[in-house]
Amino acid sequence: MARAPLTPVQNWDAQLLLLAQDVRVAFFDVDGVLTDGGLLFSGEGEVLKRFNTLDGHGLKLLQKAGITPAVVTGRDSPALRLRLGNLGVTHARFGTEDKVPAAEAILGELGLQWHQAAAMGDDWPDLPVMRRSAFACAPANAHDEVLAVADWITPRSGGEGAVRQLCDLLLAARGAYAGLLAEYAS
């Protein structure tokens, strides 16, 4: 017996979809956004990070829908570069304290403007990129000052699926969510 077609259960606020409708690039911080913010060090001093697979799949879905995921982060690590490589994320800047020039360089590479950007951050260094972007988001556990400037605060925390929630919303704003879901459900 065949099941009925899958209907999306997500119900996004129309105002959020309107804010996100022109987004063509999404900037993400790493520590506290793509990870839970914790840093694990091996006995040899190597930094280990834990990434959420829901977030990773969300980044792949963005690419499939024509939205470029980009990373601008203050840290650099082999683990991060490996993870981004596995996900096909090619626009990234590492070890960047001043994130605006890094984000502007990526915008230039893509031929895009700030009004076509979303940004997700969790701490003060992320504020300048968030404030310039058309759609600023923060995970639930972000710093209070970051939460105050966010257009949307995800129900989930950094490293716990917050990035996926933003990806899903961006896909819906682009009109791609239901179609992508149907591809997987068939």
Strands 68-72 and 91-93, sheet pairing: parallel
* Helices 177-185 & 162-174 angle (0-180, nearest 10): 110
Per-residue pLDDT of the chain (186 residues; tens, 9 = 90+): 666 666 677 788 999 999 999 999 999 999 999 999 988 788 888 878 899 999 999 999 999 999 999 999 999 988 899 999 999 999 999 999 999 999 999 999 999 999 999 999 999 999 999 999 999 999 999 999 999 999 999 999 999 999 999 999 999 999 999 999 999 988
| 23 touches 136 (CB < 8 A) | no
Task: Compute the distance between CA of residue 34 and CA of residue 130 in angstroms, rounded to an integer.
Answer: 16
**Contact at 8 Å (CB) between 75 and 83?**
no
- Domain-embedded: residue 142: yes
CB of 1 within 8 A of CB of 163?
Answer: no
Provide the pLDDT for residue 38: 85
Domain membership of residue 2 (yes or no) is no
Residue 9 included in any domain: no
Instruction: Please state whether beta strands 47-48 and 40-41 pair in parallel, antiparallel, or not at all (unpaired).
Output: antiparallel
Residue numbers of the domain that contains 93: 14-178
Q: What is the dihedral of CA 31, 35, 40, 46, to 10 degrees?
A: -70
Pairwise CA distance, residues 125 & 129, whole Å:
8
- Kindly state whether residue 6 falls inside one of the protein's structural domains: no
Q: Considering the domain boundaries, does residue 103 fall inside one?
A: yes
| Residue 170's CATH number | 3.40.50.1000
- Look at residue 3 and tell me if it is in a domain: no
123 labeled binding residue: no
Q: Give me the pLDDT at residue 2, please.
A: 67
Q: Is 4 among the domain residues?
A: no
Does residue 122 have a known ligand-binding role? yes
pTM of the model: 0.94
Q: Would residue 85 count as lying in a domain?
A: yes
Q: Is 168 assigned to a binding site?
A: no
Q: Name the domain count of the chain.
A: 1
- Report the C-alpha gap between 30 and 16 in whole angstroms: 23
